[in-house]
Amino acid sequence: MNKKIFLPVILILSYSLGWASFLPISPIRSSDDRDISRGPRRVPNISESLAPDVYQNAGSHPGALFQLVRLVKNQPTPVSGLRITTVVNTRIGLRKIDLITDTNGLVELPSCESSNISFQTQFNETRYSISSRSKFYTLQFQIPCKAKTAVIFKEDSSAGQVIAIHQVIQRALITLAQVSDLKFWSRPIRFVFPADGDYYNNDQVSLTLGHQWDVVAHEMGHAIYDQAAIGEFGGGSHKIDQCYSYAMALSEGWASFFAGWTHIDLRDRDAKFEYLVPRRAPIRFENVPSDVCGKSTNEWRVTSFLWDLVDQNQDGEISQVATKKLWDDLLNARVGSIKEAADQLLKHGWNKDQMIQVWKLNFPQEP
């Protein structure tokens, strides 16, 4: 509490003494996203030991083959990149083996000699963890040998909600790995579910629901923005269609851009979110509604501006080059507004005429 009163005093004092450049640009590393989702504010008690919701036999196999999927509106989506361990009986005794689900959520064991085989995982990786307020989640399941099995998570179960968060993290990891060596990601990000709101605070992402992919990705976006030192945080609550501070519009707009970049095809002519900000959903960011504040202090327009910088080309491959350049040129930029970000990009050789055109298109009240 003291910090809030204390800091402006230090900043004014140090500025007058010429010390400003030695101080961190922004002491705030948090975002209060009250307006972003209608998730429950009361935190239910759920067990940290998770299990799949349904098992389905899918034929025979010489060893064992299984596929982890989560149902999204009744359609199976693969659970990839999940590290699981099992203990197998070998000639030299029991041996623990680590396995990882592939891009289709599949794991294959060439041989499987007992009747069943057990697996377990803990959601505690080097770069991230998923936990309740007190414990990491664990998942345990058992599948039959000599069979192909579908291991299914439902959208509304506790396990399904945690798996959904895992899926957002995996998509983000894959997307980030296309543009970065991930060295910027030096501190583990703690995902806490269920929480009393959706917000970000000092390497911790708090979530009310897991299946709201765009809300989860937005909050994760704040954590990535923070670790990559892209820019300042504004602090305080905000509304997506209104204008407020430059820093808040930048940090919120970038976080939503991150959700779009990691989850939506850059060639989508009607790019939009699903759950984010229910009172305005679906949030369309290829075409921003005209009643939205038209200045660069509006987060929705910052998202749309960033999206337009990378989606100009119909060719998916060129878009990938643009996202890499956008990432590289804003990494450690520590900018305070989208205008400063645009200036930074121009310094790195982005086309000025194109930049002005995209600016005018997205910030009509600030030409």
List residues near Zn ion by CB under 5 A. 31, 33, 252, 255
Instruction: Give min distance, CB of 337 to Zn ion, in A.
Output: 16
> Considering beta carbons, is residue 33 or 340 the nearer one to Zn ion?
33
Say how far apart CA 254 and CA 335 lie, in whole Å: 12
> Considering beta carbons, is residue 209 or 255 the nearer one to Zn ion?
255
> Considering beta carbons, is residue 112 or 264 the nearer one to Zn ion?
264
Instruction: Give min distance, CB of 212 to Zn ion, in A.
Output: 13
> Considering beta carbons, is residue 153 or 254 the nearer one to Zn ion?
254
Query: Do the strands 147-153 and 64-72 form a parallel or antiparallel pair, or are they unpaired?
Result: parallel
> What are the structure tokens assigned to 171, written together?
């998509």
> Considering beta carbons, is residue 119 or 258 the nearer one to Zn ion?
258
Instruction: Give min distance, CB of 336 to Zn ion, in A.
Output: 17
Instruction: Give min distance, CB of 31 to Zn ion, in A.
Output: 4
Say how far apart CA 210 and CA 240 lie, in whole Å: 21
Instruction: Give min distance, CB of 222 to Zn ion, in A.
Output: 6
Say how far apart CA 328 and CA 176 lie, in whole Å: 11
Say how far apart CA 123 and CA 191 lie, in whole Å: 10
> Considering beta carbons, is residue 33 or 241 the nearer one to Zn ion?
33
> What are the structure tokens assigned to 327, written together?
């990432």
Say how far apart CA 309 and CA 293 lie, in whole Å: 20
> Considering beta carbons, is residue 64 or 276 the nearer one to Zn ion?
276
DSSP one-letter string for 230-297: -B----S---TTS---HHHHHHHHHHHHHHHHHHS-TT-TT-B-SSSSGGG-S-BSSS--TTS--STT
Cα angle 92, 97, 101 (rounded to 5 degrees) comes to 150
> Considering beta carbons, is residue 32 or 108 the nearer one to Zn ion?
32
Q: Which helix (H) or strand (E) holds 72?
A: strand 64-72
Instruction: Give min distance, CB of 263 to Zn ion, in A.
Output: 16
Q: Are the beta carbons of 294 and 304 closer than 8 angstroms?
A: no
CA 144 vs CA 56, 62, 321: distances in Å: 11, 12, 45
DSSP one-letter string for 34-51: TTS----SS-----SEE-
> Considering beta carbons, is residue 53 or 214 the nearer one to Zn ion?
214
Instruction: Give min distance, CB of 198 to Zn ion, in A.
Output: 8
Say how far apart CA 4 and CA 131 lie, in whole Å: 29
CA 220 vs CA 11, 191, 259, 268: distances in Å: 29, 8, 8, 22
Instruction: Give min distance, CB of 367 to Zn ion, in A.
Output: 27
Instruction: Give min distance, CB of 135 to Zn ion, in A.
Output: 26
> What are the structure tokens assigned to 43, written together?
């935190």
